[in-house]
Amino acid sequence: MKWGRKLAGTEKSASRPGRLVVLVSGAGTNMQAIAEACATGALAATVSAVIADRPTAGALQKATDAGITTLVVERGPGEERPAYDRRLADVVDQFQPDFVVLAGWMKLLSMNFLKRFPNRVVNLHPALPGQFPGTHSIERALQAAQRLGLNRTGVMVHFVADEGVDNGPIIATVEVPIHPADSLESLTERVHEAEHVLLVEALATVLATR
């Protein structure tokens, strides 16, 4: 299957493999796609750590199986968001990442985190720019298709520059068609396939320009 792709950035060689820290909340299939690309040499990088905000995140086991360092940084009872973000930033900074990748990370990050990694926080979102920010994006796209005749959705990878929801400078986008017979499961499967490909391509782009 082919999708139309739009990549931003110019490539130049890097003197060493990039260092990535991946933040996760869920199953970790996108983290796994990154780890596999690093292992095969498709991505000139290493995943220094996978950090989850909950101990039940399935991504932790996938990372452990791949030999990647894992940590859980939960928000404590009564802990204010700014304090949590500063503590999370301290943990991430120990690994000196070139880029921090939000691969299914389900918490908004405040400037207390973002200012520590300017132009280095990369987010994946299962929608095209300006469409369906926030959660349940695939489900909302399917509902728009059924009610309004929307015939496409997509995936975007972008830098996180501020506390806005799923916005920021675009690195890469890809369109995913919505078929009349699509169920939520079939559309979700195609969007996830697109995510795995686009995220690796986008990371290769930004790593080449660091």
The C-alpha atoms of residue 140 and residue 76 are separated, in whole angstroms, by 32
Provide CB contacts within 8 A for 40, sequence distance 6+: none
**9 secondary structure, DSSP code:** S
Q: Tokens for 54?
A: 């909950």
Q: Which residue has the tokens 């015939």?
A: 151
The C-alpha atoms of residue 184 and residue 51 are separated, in whole angstroms, by 29
The C-alpha atoms of residue 200 and residue 109 are separated, in whole angstroms, by 22
Is 179 labeled as catalytic in the residue annotation? no
Question: Which amino acid makes up residue 113?
Answer: F
Provide CB contacts within 8 A for 134, sequence distance 6+: 165, 166
Provide CB contacts within 8 A for 43, sequence distance 6+: 34, 37, 200, 203, 204, 207
Q: Which of 125, 158, 192, 196 is catalytic?
A: 125
Q: Tokens for 169?
A: 């400078």
**Active site members:** 125
